[in-house]
Amino acid sequence: MYVVSGGEGRVVSAEPVDLARLLTIDHESTTAPFEQLRAGVIAAIADGDLIVGERLPTVRRLAVSLGLAANTVAKSYRELESAGVIETRGRLGSYVRAAQGTALEQAQAATVRHVAALRTLGVDDATIVSLVTHATRAT
């Protein structure tokens, strides 16, 4: 079964996307696996590899595919959902969510994406705050 994704015009399968094909978890990294997963999903959306309406794999399926604990994947999904990146539709699964909301909500979502990217680079929270402070003063 296939559906057309809203706004993109791209046909997407009703089957879950194979995130393990798109993401790699570095188990030797100082960045926690849940953070790598969260940042990877955000990056895949930004790069167009995941589009609005695409169904994500179940927590258990993705955990097995990536060699992670189910709780690790669940934590990433919860954080992605609270940031408005994905939405969970109960037993129907989790889906990539359309960007929406006020300018402030969009700014918050952008901030979450940028912080996730910085954490993936290994930048600690204190340095992230310092970088943002410096950037606001420089503009």
Residues above pLDDT 70, as percent of the chain: 84
Question: Helices then strands (H, E): number in the chain?
Answer: 6, 5
Q: Is the dihedral of CA 109, 23, 15, 6 positive or negative?
A: positive
**Token code pair at residue 139:** 């503009």
Domain boundaries, the chain: 2-138
pTM given for the model:
0.67
Q: What integer best gives the mean pLDDT of the chain?
A: 85
- From the list 70, 139, 79, 90, the residue with the least C-alpha distance to 113 is 79
For the segment(s) 2-138, the CATH number from 1.10.10.10, 3.40.630.10, 1.10.260.40, 3.40.718.10 is: 1.10.10.10
- The predicted pLDDT at position 69 comes to 97
pLDDT of residue 109 exceeding 80, the answer is no
- Residue 122 has a pLDDT of 92
The tens digit of pLDDT for each residue in 48-102 reads 899 889 999 999 999 999 999 999 999 999 999 998 899 999 888 999 998 766 6
